A and B are shown apart, each in its own frame.
Chain A
Amino acid sequence: MAKGKNDLLQGTLTLLVLKTLCRGPVHGYGITAHIQRVSSDQLRVEEGSLYPALHRMEQEGWISSEWGLTDTNRRARFYSLTATGRQQLEQEEQSWARLIHSVASVLQEA
Chain B
Amino acid sequence: MGLWSRLQGTFKRREVEARLDAELQFHMDMHTDELIAQGHPEAEARAMARCQLGNAAKLREEAREVDMLLWIENWGRDFKQSVRSLRKRPVFTLTSIASLAVGIGAVTSLFSVVDAVVWKPVALPRAEELVFVDEYKKGQKTGSNGPRMRDWQTLSSFSSATGYYGDSVVWKGPNGAESIRTVRIYSGGTATFQLSPIVGRNFRADEEAGEHAVLLSEAFWRKRFNADPAVTNQTIQLNGQPYGIVGVLPASVTISHEVELWLPAERTLQLGNRKSGYLGVVGRLKPGVTREQAQAEANILTARMQKENRDSDEGLQAALIGVSDELSRDARTPLLLLFGVVSCVLLMIAVNLSALLLARAGERERESALRTALGATTGSLIRLYLAETLLLAFVGTAIGLLLALSGVDLLKTILPGGIARLDQARVDWRVLGCGISLAFAVSFVAGLIPSWMAARGTSLKDDGRTTASRQGMWLRNGFVVAEIALGLLLVTTAVRMAETFAEVSQRTRALETSQKIAVTVPYSWTTPDERVSAFNKAAMERFSALPGTTQVGMIDRLPLGGGTQSGEVEISGINPTGSMNCGKRSASSSYFATMGIPLLRGRLFEDRAKRNEIVVNESFVRKFLNGTDPIGRKVQFARNKGSLEIVGVVGNIRQEASQQEANPELFLYFEDGFWPISNFVIRSTTPLSVLGPMIRQEVGNLDSMVVIDRLSSLDEALGEATSAPRIRSYLVGSFALLALVLAAIGIHGLIAADVARRWKEFGIRLALGGSVPALRTMLLKRAAWLLSIGSVLGIAAVVGTSKLLESAVEGLQPARVATGLIVALLILLAALAAIWWPLRRLAGVDPASALRHE
B-contacting residues of A (Cβ < 8 Å)?
1, 27-29, 32-33, 46-48, 51-52, 55-56, 59-61, 72, 74-77
Contacts and interface: CB of A to CB of B under 8 A. Distances in A.
B52 A1 contact: yes
Contacts of A75: 22, 26
Contacts of B54: 46-48
Contacts of A51: 20, 23-24, 59, 62-63
Given A47-B53, A48-B58, A76 B26 contact: yes
A52 B33 CA distance: 24
20 contacts: A1-B51, A33-B30, A47-B53, A51-B59, A51-B62, A51-B63, A52-B62, A52-B66, A55-B20, A55-B67, A56-B66, A59-B2, A59-B6, A61-B2, A72-B33, A74-B29, A75-B22, A75-B26, A77-B22, A77-B23
A76 B59 CA distance: 18
A86 B54 CA distance: 31
Interface of B: 1-2, 5-6, 9, 19-20, 22-24, 26-27, 29-31, 33-34, 51-54, 58-59, 62-63, 65-67
A72 B30 CA distance: 10
A76 B58 CA distance: 21
B5 A59 contact: yes
A28 B26 CA distance: 9
Nearest to B65: A52
Nearest to A50: B27
Given A1-B52, A59-B2, A59-B6, A77 B63 contact: no
Contacts of A55: 20, 63, 66-67
Main SS class of interface, A: helix
A70 B19 CA distance: 17
A45 to B, nearest CB: 11
Nearest to B8: A59
B13 to A, nearest CB: 13
Nearest to B54: A48
A47 B48 CA distance: 14
Contact of B62 (A48, A61, A74, A77): A48
Interface centre among A28, A33, A47 (most CB of B within 10 A): A47
A69 to B, nearest CB: 11
Given A32-B27, A52-B63, 16 more contacts: A1-B51, A29-B26, A29-B30, A33-B34, A46-B54, A47-B53, A48-B62, A51-B20, A51-B23, A52-B62, A56-B66, A59-B2, A59-B9, A59-B66, A75-B22, A77-B26
Contacts of B63: 51-52, 55
A59 B62 contact: no
Contacts of A1: 51-52
A29 B27 CA distance: 5
A32 B23 CA distance: 13
Per CB-CB distance, the 9 closest pairs between chain A and chain B, nearest first, are A29-B30, A52-B63, A52-B62, A56-B66, A29-B27, A76-B26, A59-B1, A55-B63, A55-B66
A49 to B, nearest CB: 8
Contact of B24 (A32, A47, A60): A47
Interface centre among B2, B5, B30, B52 (most CB of A within 10 A): B30
Contact of B27 (A28, A60, A61): A28
Contacts of A72: 33
Nearest to B26: A76
Given A29-B30, A59-B2, A77-B22, A47 B52 contact: yes
Contacts of B1: 56, 59-60
A60 B62 CA distance: 16
B18 to A, nearest CB: 12
A103 to B, nearest CB: 30
A35 to B, nearest CB: 14
B12 to A, nearest CB: 12
Contacts of B27: 28-29, 32, 47
A10 to B, nearest CB: 15
Contacts of A74: 26, 29-30
Contacts of B5: 59
A56 B9 CA distance: 11
A47 B59 contact: yes
Contacts of A60: 1
A28 B28 CA distance: 11
Nearest to A1: B52
Contacts of B51: 1
Nearest to B29: A74
A72 B26 CA distance: 12
A59 B67 contact: yes
A36 B847 CA distance: 71
A18 B31 CA distance: 22
Contacts of A59: 1-2, 5-6, 9, 66-67
Contacts of A29: 26-27, 30-31
A70 B349 CA distance: 66
Contacts of B62: 48, 51-52
A84 to B, nearest CB: 12
Nearest to A51: B63
A46 B27 CA distance: 12
A32 B54 CA distance: 15
B475 to A, nearest CB: 41
A78 to B, nearest CB: 11
A48 B59 contact: yes
A46 B51 CA distance: 12
A76 B1 CA distance: 25
Contacts of B53: 47
Contacts of B9: 59
Nearest to B30: A29
Nearest to B27: A29
A60 B1 CA distance: 5
A27 B28 CA distance: 13
Interface centre among B1, B22, B53, B63 (most CB of A within 10 A): B63
A76 B30 CA distance: 10
B54 to A, nearest CB: 5
A79 B34 CA distance: 21
A99 to B, nearest CB: 25
Contacts of A28: 23, 26-27
A99 B648 CA distance: 114
Contacts of A61: 2
Nearest to B5: A59
A60 B52 CA distance: 28
A55 B23 CA distance: 12
B357 to A, nearest CB: 35
